[in-house]
A = this chain, B = another copy of it.
Amino acid sequence: MQLKNQVEWALHCCSVLAAVPEGKAVPASVLAEFHGVPKDYLAKALQNLAQAGIIIGTLGPSGGYRLANDPAEVTFLDIIEAIEGQRLTFVCNGIRRNNPCLTGDEKRCTMAQPCVVAKVMWDADEAWRNHLRSVRLSDLLKTLSDEIPADILDKGQAWMLDRC
């Protein structure tokens, strides 16, 4: 079980877009070059983010992507679900249904009334989600500016603006 590489790309891209000046849009090709990942495949991830309403794509020269909302409104979970979809990591195929000794009610396993195993797994899933929901893009920016010297960040800024 492993998250797609696109998740890593999407998170870093959103982090970049959150730091770009208002009104500027960054093309997929620039984001791809910046991160050293294949442009066409990254484009798919960005399209997913756009469909989820996290970023907005604009056409034409000087077009590209920008954040749709304030960085404080975007959680890690939003971004991850845009890429991975919203299905849970554990799916209950209900193999208790085949248990020759259970009857009717005991066999059921639904979201509302999960079986003993599914309940534990889904609770764990929820713990994962809760943590990801608690971290916002704005938190990421803050940590970045704490960890990375300002002149380095400015250099990145400049590199980016140079090609938008």
Contacts and interface: CB of A to CB of B under 8 A. Distances in A.
A11 interface: yes
A37 B124 contact: no
B1 A95 contact: no
B131 A123 contact: yes
A23 B106 CA distance: 28
Contacts of A24: none
Interface of A: 1-5, 7-9, 11-12, 15, 34-37, 76, 84, 87, 89-93, 95-103, 106, 116-117, 120-121, 123-125, 127-128, 130-132, 135, 140, 143-144, 147-148, 152, 155-156, 159
Given A8-B91, A9-B95, 14 more contacts: A1-B3, A1-B4, A2-B87, A3-B89, A3-B91, A5-B93, A35-B95, A36-B99, A102-B148, A120-B132, A124-B128, A124-B131, A125-B128, A128-B128
